[in-house]
Amino acid sequence: MLHTLARLALGVVLVGAGISHFTDAESFLSQVPSWLPAADAVVAISGIIEVVLGVALVAAPRRFRPLLGWVVAAFFVAHSMLRFRKRFESLRAGMTFRAINS
């Protein structure tokens, strides 16, 4: 029962987050690392992926749920790595040469 509630809640959150990539794209654009081309497309594609994963979490047949769980986990790992890298770039850009070497 708890697994079902968690799966459904995560699905709803992912759908909402995915939709917000289109309704509030500006706040997501600032999170795209500078080395990725076409930031607008990256935001749109990640929004579509989040909506699809969210709907799948809610509607997927039981037999696909283990695989879907791994796909969602991989998405979160990749997403977190990109956000970490963007944060690292932002911090590093604000530092002076001396601060980096000390």
Check pLDDT > 60 for residue 27: yes
The confidence band for 30, taking pLDDT boundaries of 50, 70 and 90, is confident
What mean pLDDT comes out for the span 27-38?
83
Half-sphere exposure of 16 (CA within 13 A, CB side): 6
pLDDT of residue 46 exceeding 90, the answer is yes
The pLDDT assigned to 56 comes to 97
Tell me the pLDDT band of 95, cut-offs 50, 70 and 90.
Answer: low
